[in-house]
């Protein structure tokens, strides 16, 4: 069995879908691994590192995918890569079909079994495969680091002979995996941290990290059965907007992480709110690729509006590509080794497993995922 690891071609994508450690593990299962030339450069992994682990280095994507049974990717493949993929192969990655729905037809044309790991069910058995958690965790950390680097003042309280420097105030909007890591990172740096989320259930987690939980007095919950945030009523949104507006006036650093799967990011910070923020404050909008939690955010740009710096990086995990690749490669190995490969080292997919049915987009030329039929 051959596993192919393609180089990521999307601008700014430095991660890679396999590391020397995961290559060794695939080899132990009886698989041969082909890695496209310089696929790991952005993550600090040379071709020699892969060869030392037992991989073969392919000169280009065509040679890499030729005869492949499983193709590993970080992001959705480019269309030129699609044309090179063997018919009937298994494609595994963060394929983001909401943004790349046009590729479903291409998958079907090649009769690929395409697995999008963002759709893994939130059950304990899937935790070691959870790509969203591993990548969001790093995104939350990096968001705070970037915010602090652009902030013109120190973050922790400092008591000096010349006087006391007051600590910076940080607000995190959305207390999922990225938000909780942002809270923890800001606290470690000495900021006074507050957090908001539509899901009251996360209050205990926020407070356990030493942050203040800001909540709207309402009877409705913002949590779906799967544990994700959902869209709220107009009345709730009005109260939410008033609360966030007042809170923002006192903040120095703001990390926005609020997303609704399959929909544009909710607008949490309006232009009027930005106008009322302190000059020199910083907003890092992790929802930039989905429209942004602030409409003033510009994708993959740092801009200053009304004296406030807005950061709109669309791929924050790639800004920590070394660790992001290590974690992602482990997630992929756990998925592939558990669900796609048998003990004899051959393909052995349990098509009825809920982790398979939850992530499978296309198979045998048909779109099979319930969200895209």
pLDDT single digits (tens) 96-123: 999 999 999 999 999 999 999 999 999 9
CB 86 within 8 A of CB 3: no
Q: Cβ distance 356 to 45 under 8 Å? A: no
Pick from 211, 214, 213: nearest CA to 193: 211
**Are the C-beta atoms of residues 121 and 358 closer than 8 Å to each other?**
yes
Pairing of strands 360-363, 113-116: antiparallel
**Which pair of structure tokens corresponds to residue 158?**
């400092």
Q: What is the pLDDT of residues 309-358, one digit of tens each?
A: 999 999 999 999 999 999 999 999 999 999 999 888 889 998 999 999 99
Q: Among candidates 113, 99, 34, which has minimal Cα distance to 263?
A: 99
Averaged pLDDT for residues 22-26: 98
339: CB partners within 8 A, 6+ apart = 349, 350, 353, 355, 356
Burial label for 248, CB within 10 Å (0-12, 13-18, 19+), is buried
Q: Which of 18-22, 142-146, 232-236, 286-290 has the lowest mean pLDDT?
A: 232-236
Closest listed residue to residue 256, CA positions, set 174, 324, 350, 135: 174
CB proximity list for 119: less than 8 A, separation 6 or greater = 358, 359, 369, 371
Give the closest residue to 289 by CA, choosing from 263, 315, 257, 268.
Answer: 315
Q: What is the mean pLDDT of residues 247-268?
A: 94
Q: Is the per-residue pLDDT at 90 higher than 90?
A: yes
Percentage of residues in the chain with pLDDT exceeding 90? 88
Q: Which residues are catalytic?
A: 122, 127, 130, 133, 228
Helix%, strand%, coil% for the chain, nearest 5: 35, 20, 45
**pLDDT at residue 229 in the model:** 56
How does the average pLDDT of the chain come out, rounded?
Answer: 94
Q: What percent of the chain has pLDDT over 70?
A: 96
Give me 199's structure tokens: 């899901």
Alpha helices in 29-130 (DSSP H): 47-52, 61-65, 79-82, 103-109
Q: pLDDT grade, residue 220 (50/70/90)?
A: low
User: What integer is the mean pLDDT of 161-190?
Assistant: 97
Annotate 162-180 with DSSP letters as a single string.
Answer: TEEEPPPEEEEE--SHHHH
């Amino acid at each position: 069995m051959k596993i192919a690891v393609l180089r990521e071609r999307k601008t700014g994508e430095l991660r890679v879908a396999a590391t020397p450690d995961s290559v060794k593990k695939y080899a132990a299962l009886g698989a041969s691994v082909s890695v496209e030339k310089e696929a790991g450069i952005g993550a600090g992994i040379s071709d020699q590192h892969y060869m030392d682990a037992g991989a073969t280095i392919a000169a280009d994507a065509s040679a890499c995918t030729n005869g492949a049974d499983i193709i590993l990717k970080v992001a959705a493949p480019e269309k030129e890569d699609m044309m090179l993929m063997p018919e009937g192969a298994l494609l595994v990655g963060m394929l983001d079909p909401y943004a790349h729905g046009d590729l479903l037809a291409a998958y079907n044309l090649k009769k690929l079994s395409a697995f999008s790991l963002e759709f893994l069910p939130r059950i304990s058995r899937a935790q070691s495969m959870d790509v969203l958690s591993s990548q969001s965790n790093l995104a939350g950390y990096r968001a705070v680091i970037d915010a602090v680097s652009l902030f013109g003042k120190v973050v922790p309280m400092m008591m000096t002979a010349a006087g006391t420097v007051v600590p910076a105030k940080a607000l995190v909007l959305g207390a999922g995996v990225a938000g909780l890591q942002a809270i923890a990172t800001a606290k470690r740096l000495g900021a006074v941290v507050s957090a908001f989320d539509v899901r009251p259930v996360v209050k205990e987690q926020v407070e356990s990290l030493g942050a203040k939980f800001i909540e709207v007095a309402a009877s409705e919950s913002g949590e779906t059965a799967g544990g994700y945030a959902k869209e709220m009523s107009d009345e709730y949104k009005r109260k939410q907007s008033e609360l966030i507006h007042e809170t923002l006036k006192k903040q120095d650093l703001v990390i926005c992480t609020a997303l609704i799967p399959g929909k544009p990011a909710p607008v949490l910070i309006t232009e009027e709110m930005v106008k009322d923020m302190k000059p020199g404050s910083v907003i890092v909008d992790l929802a930039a690729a989905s429209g942004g939690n602030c409409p003033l955010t510009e994708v993959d740009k740092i801009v200053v509006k009304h004296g406030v710096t807005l950061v709109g990086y669309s791929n924050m995990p790639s800004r920590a590509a070394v660790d992001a690749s290590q974690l992602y490669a482990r997630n992929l190995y756990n998925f592939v080794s558990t669900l796609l490969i048998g003990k004899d080292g051959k393909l052995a997919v349990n098509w009825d497993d809920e982790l398979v049915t939850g992530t499978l987009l296309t198979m045998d030329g048909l779109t099979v995922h319930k969200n895209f039929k």
